[in-house]
């Protein structure tokens, strides 16, 4: 009884031991599965970390490349504006040179030559042209001309009153012509003057010689008068036959 009881008592213990062994084996298997799953998780975690590190590295690499491109200096385009050249300086003002001073030339009328001894039949007649002159005491252009002779002369004209009138009329016409020429000059026109002019003309009215005998006393006015007279090449008409020369004309401007 006792041995059987002992066996019976020990059998449940054996079963318990076997139970425990089976449970232990089951726990060991579960532990192995847990270890495998833990290893898998570690591998996955490590792989994830490695992937994350690689991704972060790639991001930094890309950013560094982009940063280099953005930090590279941009090419500056310099715009050059061509300015127009400055205008040339204005020319210097023209300085008018003063006219050269003209030395006043005082002309002394030639002394009339003594007439040669004439034949007896011409003894009573004065030589033609020697003592004759045309003198005007009035304003230029007036008809106040007369024929005058030297004191002591026996006569003025050998041709009589008809020649005197022709010579007087011609002298008046020439005197008016000269006065008009002189009046075209502004400097002469605005001055008061009285001059004596000796005139020589040929048979067609061309001027052979013209001379300012009496000065006005103003050198500038005398120069202007001589300049205008020197430009007169012809008078308005031919002289009458036998006209004494030089023709002495007094030209007066009273303004």
pLDDT of residue 112: 43
Which is higher by pLDDT, 123 or 169?
A: 169
Q: Which two tokens stand for residue 190?
A: 């605005």
Residues of the chain above pLDDT 70, percent: 54
Distance CA 131, CA 115 (A): 11
Distance CA 68, CA 32 (A): 53
In this structure, is residue 74 part of a structural domain?
A: no
Report yes or no: 136 and 149 within 8 Å, Cβ to Cβ: no
Task: Label residue 150 by pLDDT band (50, 70, 90).
Answer: very low
In this structure, is residue 103 part of a structural domain?
A: no
pLDDT of residue 45: 85
Task: Label residue 214 by pLDDT band (50, 70, 90).
Answer: confident
In this structure, is residue 168 part of a structural domain?
A: yes
Number of structural domains the chain divides into: 1
Which DSSP symbol is given to 204? T
Which is higher by pLDDT, 179 or 154?
A: 179
What is the domain-level CATH number for residue 211? 3.30.1150.10
pLDDT of residue 201: 94
pLDDT of residue 73: 60
Torsion angle of the four alpha carbons 131, 137, 139, 141, in this order, in degrees rounded to the nearest 10: -30
Structural domain of 192: 164-253
> What angle, rounded to 10 degrees, do the helices at 219-230 and 161-183 form?
110
The pTM (predicted TM-score) of the whole model is 0.40
Whole-Å CA distances, 154 to 17, 119, 129, 150, 210: 207, 17, 14, 9, 28
In this structure, is residue 130 part of a structural domain?
A: no
């Amino acid at each position: 009884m006792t041995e059987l009881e002992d066996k019976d008592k020990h059998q449940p213990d054996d079963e318990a031991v076997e139970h425990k062994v089976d449970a232990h084996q089951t726990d060991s298997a579960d532990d192995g599965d847990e270890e495998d799953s833990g290893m898998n998780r570690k591998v996955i975690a490590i792989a994830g970390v490695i992937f994350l590190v690689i991704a972060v590295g790639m991001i930094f690499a890309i950013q560094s490349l982009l940063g280099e491109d953005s930090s590279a200096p941009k090419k500056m385009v310099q715009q050059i504006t061509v300015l127009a050249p400055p205008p040339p300086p204005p020319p210097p003002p023209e300085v008018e040179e003063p006219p050269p001073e003209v030395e006043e030339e005082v002309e002394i009328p030639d002394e009339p030559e003594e007439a040669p001894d004439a034949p007896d039949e011409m003894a009573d007649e004065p030589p033609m042209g020697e003592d004759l002159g045309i003198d005007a005491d009035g304003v230029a252009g007036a008809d106040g001309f007369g024929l005058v002779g030297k004191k002591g002369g026996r006569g003025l004209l050998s041709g009589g009153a008809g020649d005197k009138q022709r010579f007087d009329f011609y002298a008046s016409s020439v005197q008016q012509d000269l006065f008009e020429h002189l009046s075209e000059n502004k400097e002469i026109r605005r001055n008061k003057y009285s001059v004596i002019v000796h005139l020589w003309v040929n048979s067609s009215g061309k001027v052979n010689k013209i001379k300012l005998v009496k000065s006005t006393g103003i050198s500038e006015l005398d120069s202007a008068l001589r300049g205008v007279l020197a430009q007169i090449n012809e008078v308005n008409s031919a002289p009458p036959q036998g006209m004494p020369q030089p023709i002495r004309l007094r030209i007066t401007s009273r303004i």
